[in-house]
Structure 1
Amino acid sequence: MENSISNCLSVSASNLTALLVIGIVTVFVIRVLYVLHRSARPRHPNSSSQQHLSTLIVLGSGGHTAEMINLLNVLQKERFKPRYYIAAATDNMSLQKAQVLENSLLDDQGGREKVVGSAHYMQIYRSREVGQSYLTSVGTTLLAIAHALWLMIKIRPQVILCNGPGTCIPICVIAFIFKVFGIRWSYIFYVESIARVKRLSLSALLLYKLRMADQLFVQWPQLKNKYPRAHYVGRLM
């Protein structure tokens, strides 16, 4: 008798555990699907609103930074602030260019930082350096993700702007995880480089296939034809 009761209790506990696991998985899948659905239809803030949007700007090296600076020149600075510039730990030139841009804004506003919005400059570990072996890049990728997590917790941006560097991938992954768990909803806007004419860069392809970017912009019509969920905006440069 006692054995029968014990067996029944054991089976009941196993069933309850299984139902609990299934329930958690189901809720998680529903939440992921909701995030993907909502990301495909990003909110368009009212331009008349006075709300400021904290903005994280991911800078790459060389041409990526030049293109991003050009984009920032037409950004509504009064709206997108404070601005957080992030570049790879080995890339000092990009942050210097961002500082030059911000200093020019202060000069235009007569030094009134409260009008333009404060800027912050940070660096993040690279997932993989040029020429680094894929084996050793596993460790550096994990380090980059941990660093990205710390930065995202610290900044908690409402908007993320990126245009190509692999540095943006850990940040976008963390931002997507934050969306799923309801920690913070960061709108990810990716602008593909004008140098990409026939196919997306690896960073853009990952964000496109995994549907992490709220909007992905391309500058060539053939890319729009090949990747229909992308937004063709013509040449921005």
Structure 2
Amino acid sequence: MVCVLLAAAAGAVAVFLILRIWVVLHSRDVTPRESLSILVVAGSGGHTTEILRLLGSLSNAYSPRHYVIADTDEMSANKINSFELDRADRDPGNMYTKYYIHRIPRSREVQQSWPSTVFTTLHSMRLSLPLIHQLKPDLVLCNGPGTCVPICLSALLLGILGIKKVIIVYVESICRVETLSLSGKILFHLSDYFIVQWPALKEKYPKSVYLGRIV
């Protein structure tokens, strides 16, 4: 009898979680406001360059801007600082100039074995959760670095727990012409808006959004 009750309780919890995840993934209501807090995930190589190009086309209403980079990624930090300084110089009267750089461990280092990636990703996730809970951004914007996976999962969890619905926008890298990146494959069903830049990807993934080349 006890086993039956435990099984029923576990089933009820599972159903509740599934329904809650469905509601979070299909809820896109955003309350109009003067500014939106945005969290941008930057990555080494071309990821940071692409995401900064995209960010440069957004209005100043996306503020404050929080950047998340890997703890060993100094190049991205330098690019972000240069981007923000240039932005401030071009618009000195802009009142939305606040930006912050946060660091978390990499989910996967170059040439790291795939089995060990599970543990490094969990470690990164452990530090991403309190960061996302502290910042509570309105929007997460990313384009494929491995660092974005624990960040997006943490943002999704915020909605599942009923703390805050965070809009997740994933823009697949311009380098991805016919296949998605590993991060893209993971986050395709978890993001609110999944944007691709090549028609071949739109054909393979009809639920994605194709806007042509945007970076």
- 1:108-167 CA-to-partner distances (Å, cap 9, x unmatched) read 232x56x12300011110111011123433332221111111211221111000011011
CA distance in 1 between partners of 2:29 and 2:4 (Å): 42
Alignment of 1:96-175 (within 5 A): 96-110=78-92, 112=93, 115-175=95-155
| Paired position in structure 2 for 1:213 | 191
Once structures 1 and 2 are overlaid, which stretch shifts more, 125-134 or 161-170? 125-134
SS in 1 for 2:63: coil
Alignment of 1:1-237 (within 5 A): 11=1, 16-38=5-27, 42-43=28-29, 46=32, 49-50=33-34, 52-77=35-60, 79-110=61-92, 112=93, 115-208=95-188, 211-237=189-215
- 1:36-74 CA-to-partner distances (Å, cap 9, x unmatched) read 332xxx34665xx42x21110000112111111111111
CA distance in 1 between partners of 2:197 and 2:127 (Å): 31
Shift in Å at residue 29 of structure 1?
2.1
SS in 1 for 2:103: strand
- The alignment-based identity, stated in percent, is 40
CA distance in 2 between partners of 1:193 and 1:29 (Å): 30
- Unpaired stretches in structure 1, ≥5 consecutive residues: 1-10
Q: So what's the TM-score if we normalise by structure 1?
A: 0.84
Aligned residues, how many?
215
SS in 2 for 1:175: helix
CA distance in 1 between partners of 2:117 and 2:214 (Å): 34
CA distance in 1 between partners of 2:191 and 2:9 (Å): 32
Amino acid at match of 2:24: V
Does the 8 Å contact 2:21/2:160 carry over to 1? yes
Does the 8 Å contact 2:133/2:158 carry over to 1? no
Shift in Å at residue 175 of structure 1?
1.2
Does the 8 Å contact 1:109/1:116 carry over to 2? no
Amino acid at match of 2:11: I
Does the 8 Å contact 2:38/2:66 carry over to 1? yes
Once structures 1 and 2 are overlaid, which stretch shifts more, 170-179 or 132-141? 132-141
CA distance in 2 between partners of 1:131 and 1:83 (Å): 31
SS in 1 for 2:169: strand
Amino acid at match of 2:21: V
Q: So what's the TM-score if we normalise by structure 2?
A: 0.92
Does the 8 Å contact 2:194/2:209 carry over to 1? yes
Does the 8 Å contact 1:125/1:143 carry over to 2? yes
Does the 8 Å contact 1:106/1:116 carry over to 2? no
- Unpaired stretches in structure 2, ≥5 consecutive residues: none
CA distance in 1 between partners of 2:166 and 2:127 (Å): 18
CA RMSD of aligned residues (A): 1.9
CA distance in 2 between partners of 1:22 and 1:198 (Å): 40
Amino acid at match of 1:158: D
Does the 8 Å contact 1:220/1:232 carry over to 2? yes
CA distance in 2 between partners of 1:171 and 1:116 (Å): 24
